[in-house]
Amino acid sequence: MSEAADTLAAVTGSGLTTMPSPVDVPARFPVLAGTARETVRLHPRPGNPGAGSSSLGGPLLWPVGEPWPACDSPWCTLDDWHAPRRIEPGSSPLVPVLQVFARHVPQVPFPEGRDVLQVLWCPFSHQQNEPLPRVIWRSEADLEHAAAGDGGVHPQAPAEQVPSPCTVTPELVVEYSAEELDRGQLGRLGDAARDFEAEVGWDLWSDLLVAPGSKLGGHPSWVQDPQWPQCECGSRMAHLATIASWEYDGTFSRRWIPVQEQPLFDLQAEQMALFAQHPEVRRPHGMMLGDVGNYHLFTCTACPDRPYEHRWACS
């Protein structure tokens, strides 16, 4: 383990927490009151999680005798600018992306009778340059005799879409979003935000609204226009999870760097200098999803089988 990793482990041993908001957001910005949502920041950090742990990129608790899934899409492609190459269906094992136990995140609405969420994906491109996901809900009681599984990685899989193992320390925070406000509301909010920044030095958009990074529930952090999926039942799907390229930006906001890790940083540094510090905090899983993108998963909580969709949000 590197010296930086040793230091990181020392300061995060008691968990990670977000700096409190410097203001009562709905009181100062009433137009945002109806957008309050709880989200669980996962705070992934490089580690060696076990199969019985909640993790990002770690091994999954997998039923003995259940075949490991592989990508069966005919559009599975190694996206090479010079010569894109088709990957034979069934030859690319899905890679573990996320495992979360309900006992670690009681705020997440699991389906009835299920208390383990597992997310896998094929790391190759599928027509629109995104990994293709598989979402599995399980009962921990059914995994008593399960074993650690990871299925292996296709030798040509793009490394930027295969996560390195990370432990997680879930934290519940409240966030707000301006995405669904109308033009008049946005105008009034912009005026109030400028007055607020001049008064206290905090930026509403970067510091007080949608939490960045990998998380469960709450608001998606859209890079461009929102693209909410609709379920076949007619309901708008709920945001299930985000896997983010970066856990914090650093060029715009210092608030989202956990309190326990802020002693690692020179917070008085110029923005780009701050941004370059501690990539194991900013990009702990080693992935780069598109152009600093966010990978959003959605599910329909109105349907008992929990159908799901994904959206690829990048610039």
> Is the predicted pLDDT of residue 308 greater than 90, yes or no?
yes
Location of structure tokens 């992935």: 287
Report pLDDT digits (tens) over 60-90: 999 999 999 999 999 999 976 666 889 999 9
> Is the predicted pLDDT of residue 14 greater than 60, yes or no?
no
Q: C-alpha angle 78/79/80, rounded to 5°?
A: 105
Structural domains in the chain, sorted by start? 3-313 (2.30.320)
Report pLDDT digits (tens) over 223-247: 888 899 999 999 999 999 999 999 9
Nearest to 156 by CA among 269, 77, 226: 77
User: Above pLDDT 90, what percent of the chain?
Assistant: 71
178-to-18, 34, 111, 135, 208 alpha-carbon distances in Å: 21, 10, 29, 29, 11
Strands 55-56 and 116-122: unpaired
- Structure confidence at residue 1 as a pLDDT band (50, 70, 90): very low
Report pLDDT digits (tens) over 18-60: 999 999 999 999 999 999 999 999 999 999 999 999 999 999 9
Report pLDDT digits (tens) over 109-119: 999 999 999 99
Q: In a 3-state reduction of DSSP, which class is residue 212?
A: coil
> Is the predicted pLDDT of residue 310 greater than 70, yes or no?
yes
30 dihedral zone (left: phi>0; alpha: psi -120 to 50; beta) = alpha
Q: Element (H or E) spanning 191, and its range? A: helix 183-200
Q: In a 3-state reduction of DSSP, which class is residue 8?
A: helix
What is the Cβ-side half-sphere exposure of residue 313, based on CA atoms within 13 angstroms? Answer: 25
Q: Do 300 and 235 touch, CB atoms closer than 8 A?
A: yes
User: Given this model, what pLDDT does residue 212 score?
Assistant: 94
Report pLDDT digits (tens) over 151-184: 899 999 999 999 999 999 999 999 999 998 999 9
Task: Write down the mean pLDDT value for the chain.
Answer: 90
> Is the predicted pLDDT of residue 250 greater than 80, yes or no?
no
Give the CA diameter of the chain.
Answer: 62
Burial of 137 (0-12, 13-18, 19+ CB in 10 A): middle
User: Given this model, what pLDDT does residue 130 score?
Assistant: 81
Cα dihedral: 133, 314, 100, 258 (round 10):
170
Residue 181: both structure tokens together: 């406000």
Q: Do 33 and 26 touch, CB atoms closer than 8 A?
A: yes
Provide the terminal-to-terminal Cα distance of the chain, rounded to the nearest Å: 34
- Structure confidence at residue 129 as a pLDDT band (50, 70, 90): low
The partner residues of 38 in beta bridges, in order of sequence, read 174
Amino acid at 273: A
pTM: 0.92
- Structure confidence at residue 4 as a pLDDT band (50, 70, 90): very low
User: Given this model, what pLDDT does residue 5 score?
Assistant: 46
